[in-house]
Structure 1
């Protein structure tokens, strides 16, 4: 009888413990900790509280209002991302279509198709519901200048896409992306951000100036840029830079139209072809048929290079979350390996269906979202909806790619924030040394060369913080950085990316 009582007491205590544990978990859930914005002194305090209490679940279902909420601020990164998506995908597809002799109509239809693929299957599904710490799978801008070379070397878009997906998945599963990020110091990251921000800023200023001069209205570029500078300065002063993309794009649009710049809608509503057999037919779509073994061999170096570029790209984007989120919000920071994994799956899936996009982490989304102090999932769903509307409606695509709107959106939403973040990370003498070498080496070859070379020199203690190198294990100090640099150096030499060295793969 005693043993029965003891068993009953033990069972009761166990049930009580489990009930208390469940109650504790319930009390610590996002729903239990959420408070209305009226209870906070400022909007920023409310948004930071939201970031601190979120508990996103990796590779499990996350539901709106249970695990996160929609806020007005989510509209800003969603709009910025939609504008950026239209522009970047069109640029990638056009870079393929030009050498292949395909028309502008093909570019528009394939861009629409890619936006539907990204929005329905990946932006909404993955980043919105399944893994809210994986950034949206966007477009790989740095690869655009290499696409004509890829086509000239016999490259096939489907072969390239499948290999990028394969190598990207390997990097994600092995957690190589997060490892490389951990081995990159603040000085190296900061220098990379400064270089990318400065180069991008100058390119967009040149772009809008050339456009205005081309229509013999050079004064429009001057007025638009001056207005953008004043607007950006005021928003920074008021702590409202998260409004810079929609406000800046809107002001640029109104000024250009008011000063007489020509504009017309040409893209009508419609649905692009949805069948992979159409896109990969011998006489339809890309008009290339399916790739053979030679096509895969010719694009392999470019696929490896594309995946290698993901690490510095993702590093630069996550910095904005780390700088703008409160310290307690580490659970909502972008997971580097998951982001690369989603980008890899999205790349292989989209290419198999017929899309021409090259995937990477979505910078025109995550940077404005971080500045607006918003997590990934809610804005991701809104981005997906906006992309679907733009793709089917057609007319928003014309507005997004109009030069004054496009250039101002990229300047205030991407390149100026990159510059500012880079300068904030290089305040110390040791950081500025590493940053200077990154900028130097990147300007000499490209950002991948600059990042990989400076990471090796920095970890060896030859530049930057010499004490940091002494604390690293041998593998982290020179083995991994050294192998990374050598492999990338050989690949870049092979595809004619090193100054003065003729490429042996492309020829």
Structure 2
């Protein structure tokens, strides 16, 4: 699988910072001369370098990892009646798995075109349904890993990406960005109003808007995450918002037998065949959500990177293989994380004009330090820090990218339909339906559909849409329609 590579081509072509008039020009040149090796060793200073801009996505990724893994673990553990202490230990365990095996080894060493495997946020609301239907965290993880690995090695992810037009992708980014921003604004106000100081949320958000505008003006938008978090934290604390450190330093139990014991860890034992059958519809839907998610991340890189940087653009199929591997390894070891492409890493990295590997290594370092020290976990999940990090680091950039993608050509029809249909059910329904309508030529660019042939126009999009509808019908995701799977729930 290794691509042709000229030995030391990066070191031969790179130039020092002093050779460029601006730092931006230097960073763009670094992207253009990198020649990463796929599925082969990549070494710092021979194949890539570290720049201080790499700390930006590393910080954002670490904050996002704490928050998202905490949400996944809590969604599994709460219905099972497990303690807060258990959740903290499992979060630490998951962060160490992600840091050592995948941030360091996969994206920093083995394949710098595979984005880091992160957390599958859109699946969180469905986890209580998984538990209620007799699902098991290990069974779900293994099934997602198997399906994702098959999709990756057959290059199904990149195929679905090619069938998705700019209008559909742009509309999806607009929807996800808008929903994300409004959700975080609502959460921030709810947090501040819980101790009768709702004005704190307003002041924090207003200060963030001014800061973001100034950074845009001075072309320093990549500083939005650290400055935004610092500003939000200082303002909230100065105005009397409650905060305290509670998570002490330590290491989690590293023994998988403890996590999957009958009376220890998850207290579930090992999954049986019934558990695997119960999670299959959810696993199919989780992997189906990968394609639009991965596409959005790749598109964001292309919009922010200069020309002639295809070699460092995220490879969707390799990222799927990496995410599937991380899913199976983490689940077998005892973690509950549901994996997807690491959005809180790749979006800030693209803004900072940095390739994947350098920041991946720094992300691993920060995740290990956070997991062991404990106290940074408290700061990362503090609402003003968390919400502002997600708004300026992920959701506002997604909005901007979506607007850029819908500026040219006949893209607005497709963008509007994908937003409308996503609002009715969810983004995976909106994406699959609009891809079908768009490729058939009913909306968007009519000429584009004619160039795809029968397979690309309606056969593959039709099969994908029908399969996803069956799965969503089975688990009750259509509004007003009861879940079919409950009628066949295995006792």
CA drift of 1:473 comes to 1.3
CA drift of 1:130 comes to 0.4
> Which of 66, 77, 82 in structure 2 is aligned with 1:86?
66
Partner residue, 1:245: 225
Partner residue, 1:307: 287
CA distance in 2, matches of 1:455, 1:506: 30
CA distance in 2, matches of 1:429, 1:493: 35
Number of positions where the alignment pairs a residue of Structure 1 with one of Structure 2: 484
Partner residue, 1:346: 326
8 Å contact kept, 1:138–1:363: yes
8 Å contact kept, 1:209–1:218: yes
Partner residue, 1:131: 111
1:462 is the counterpart of 2:405: no
1:277 is the counterpart of 2:271: no
CA distance in 2, matches of 1:140, 1:104: 21
> Which of 28, 34, 45 in structure 2 is aligned with 1:54?
34
Partner residue, 1:445: 425
1:203 is the counterpart of 2:183: yes
CA drift of 1:38 comes to 1.0
CA drift of 1:506 comes to 3.4
Please state whether the residue corresponding to 2:341 is helix, strand or coil.
coil
8 Å contact kept, 1:495–1:504: yes
CA distance in 1, matches of 2:56, 2:429: 34
1:151 is the counterpart of 2:131: yes
Partner residue, 1:3: none
> Which of 197, 214, 224 in structure 2 is aligned with 1:234?
214
Structure of higher CA gyration radius: 1
8 Å contact kept, 1:116–1:388: yes
Partner residue, 1:116: 96
TM-score (norm 2): 0.98
Partner residue, 1:394: 374
8 Å contact kept, 1:87–1:400: yes
CA deviation digits over 1:228-281, x for unaligned, max 9? 000011111111111101110010000011111111000000000110010000
1:179 is the counterpart of 2:159: yes
1:292 is the counterpart of 2:272: yes
CA distance in 2, matches of 1:479, 1:448: 18
Partner residue, 1:140: 120
CA drift of 1:429 comes to 5.7
CA deviation digits over 1:121-174, x for unaligned, max 9? 111000000000000000000000000011001110000000000000000011
CA distance in 1, matches of 2:292, 2:210: 31
Please state whether the residue corresponding to 1:59 is helix, strand or coil.
coil
CA distance in 2, matches of 1:84, 1:501: 34
CA distance in 1, matches of 2:231, 2:346: 23
CA deviation digits over 1:361-420, x for unaligned, max 9? 000000000000000000000000000000000000000000000000000000000111
CA drift of 1:502 comes to 1.2
CA distance in 1, matches of 2:475, 2:181: 27
1:215 is the counterpart of 2:195: yes
CA deviation digits over 1:424-454, x for unaligned, max 9? 1111362010000000000000000000000
CA drift of 1:25 comes to 4.5
Partner residue, 1:325: 305
Please state whether the residue corresponding to 1:210 is helix, strand or coil.
helix
CA distance in 2, matches of 1:493, 1:433: 27
8 Å contact kept, 1:149–1:506: no
CA distance in 1, matches of 2:195, 2:380: 19
CA distance in 1, matches of 2:84, 2:175: 32
Partner residue, 2:169: 189
CA distance in 1, matches of 2:85, 2:175: 35
Partner residue, 1:35: 15
CA deviation digits over 1:436-490, x for unaligned, max 9? 0000000000000000000000000000001111111110111000000000000
CA distance in 2, matches of 1:231, 1:160: 42
TM-score (norm 1): 0.94
Instruction: Please show how residues 68-107 of structure 1 align to structure 2 within 5 Å.
Output: 68-107=48-87
CA drift of 1:503 comes to 1.1
CA distance in 2, matches of 1:261, 1:305: 39
* Structure 1: gaps of 5 or more residues: 1-21
Please state whether the residue corresponding to 1:100 is helix, strand or coil.
coil
CA drift of 1:108 comes to 0.7
Instruction: Please show how residues 363-442 of structure 1 align to structure 2 within 5 Å.
Output: 363-428=343-408, 430-442=410-422
CA deviation digits over 1:286-309, x for unaligned, max 9? 011111110000000000100000
CA distance in 2, matches of 1:411, 1:104: 27
